[in-house]
Structure 1
Amino acid sequence: MDEIDESKQLVLQIGSALKRYRKEKNMSLDDLAESTGVSKLTLGNIERGETNPTLAIIWKISKGISLPLLALFKTEDPVSLYRAGEGLRFSNDQKNWSIEPVFKNAGSDIEMCRAYLQPNSSYHPEGHHVNTTEIATVMTGSIEIQVNGERYTLNQYDTISFRADSPHSYTNNSNSETVLHIALKYGF
């Protein structure tokens, strides 16, 4: 499957998952818009597969309805293989932080992804779902992570765990890309 077909398939999958969730919860598009802070028009376009939502929009939807982000990408395949650099990849608006979801069919309370932070840059995520734990392991490079105002320097294979609904950020002060493995454990 070429990249265009794969992207369109993904857009349709997200829309279908969102619509299925909304119907299961007996929500109207107005209800969903109120819960997520995303316009009814945008949500309708996503459900119909007519737009490719940004990571920020998908995250807003996920957080607004207390649904793990990767639940919108869930598949029913009994075996899943995700090779680095070959699958789905989302970037923030500044293009200095990107993630590759891993194990989209994992249980509904755990998500895993590979994250990439470009040289000499920082990423300040929005607060995660309440009672979420974030576990980050540095795979290549080094990184400074700030959690609740305290700074931690991690080198290759170091791991940190913290409450992800608290203020935190990632800073790469090196001249090389830093690669992280991140797991999110939801507490809902």
Structure 2
Amino acid sequence: MQVGAALKKIRKEKKLSLEELSELTGVSKLTLGNIERGETNPTVGILWKISKGISLPLMTLFTSESSVNIYRAGQGLRFASEHKNWIIEPIFKNTNHDIEMYRAYLRPNSSYHPEAHHSNTTEIATVMAGSVSIQVNDDIYSLNQYDTISFRADSPHSYLNPTGNETVLHITLKYEV
């Protein structure tokens, strides 16, 4: 419901109808209305489409009134990909809306192919547990625990966990504003 309320507020501030928002984001008017009313839990893919369509960082859809926040692993907001093989937990956004941090979980023997992010966005991923192969454009990079990679997130990229264990990542997105 928190996402729905934030989305409705942003839509009203931008003076957009549900139909206009649908055209901008590529998300159906029905789905957007259901999200705003808190009647559905959007997938992370849908959230990225909305974020990109309204040209605001993803974390703008999550509000926090406190100046001190604790984000405990496995508690609080969690968003899954369509096939539930990729789960993210928002853990930080700064007030300038140019940096966001997430805890991400990639299920064993699975992959995740995110939507391209906003133009000129940098993604920084650190493996906290397990290992992962990350494809950026046509190149594949293998990372083990505590390895970090940085790349342009508006480029095609994907995450692959070829192991029988869950991979945990810390992901930072840096938006050029």
Q: TM-score, normalised by structure 1?
A: 0.87
1:154-174: CA deviation from partner (whole Å, max 9, x where unpaired):
111111000001011111122
| Cα drift, residue 44 of structure 1 | 2.4
SS in 2 for 1:165: coil
Instruction: Provide the rounded CA distance (Å) in 1 between the counterparts of 2:23 and 2:45.
Output: 17
Q: Cα RMSD between the aligned structures?
A: 1.5
| Cα drift, residue 88 of structure 1 | 1.5
1:73 to 42, 56, 62: 62
- Shifted more, 97-106 versus 167-176: the winner is 97-106
| Cα drift, residue 110 of structure 1 | 1.2
1:77, 1:105 within 8 Å by CA — same for their partners in 2? no
Match of 1:111 in 2: 100
Identity %: 71
Which of the two has greater helix per residue?
Answer: 1
Unmatched 5+ residue regions in structure 2?
A: none
1:75, 1:105 within 8 Å by CA — same for their partners in 2? no
Output the amino acid matched with 2:154.
D
2:85 to 89, 96, 116: 96
SS in 1 for 2:176: coil
| Cα drift, residue 105 of structure 1 | 6.0
1:81-138: CA deviation from partner (whole Å, max 9, x where unpaired):
0010112111112221111110256541111111111112111111111111000000
Distance 1:106 1:175, change over 3 A: farther
Match of 1:6 in 2: none
SS in 2 for 1:31: helix
Output the amino acid matched with 1:82.
Y
2:117 to 122, 128, 145: 128
Unmatched 5+ residue regions in structure 1?
A: 1-10
| Cα drift, residue 27 of structure 1 | 1.7
Tell me the number of residue pairs that the alignment of Structure 1 and Structure 2 aligns. Answer: 177
Instruction: Provide the rounded CA distance (Å) in 2 between the counterparts of 1:120 and 1:106.
Output: 37
1:46 to 22, 27, 35: 35
Match of 1:173 in 2: 162
1:129, 1:165 within 8 Å by CA — same for their partners in 2? yes
| Cα drift, residue 145 of structure 1 | 0.9
1:120, 1:174 within 8 Å by CA — same for their partners in 2? yes
Q: TM-score, normalised by structure 2?
A: 0.92
Find the structure with the greater CA-based Rg. Answer: 1
SS in 1 for 2:5: helix
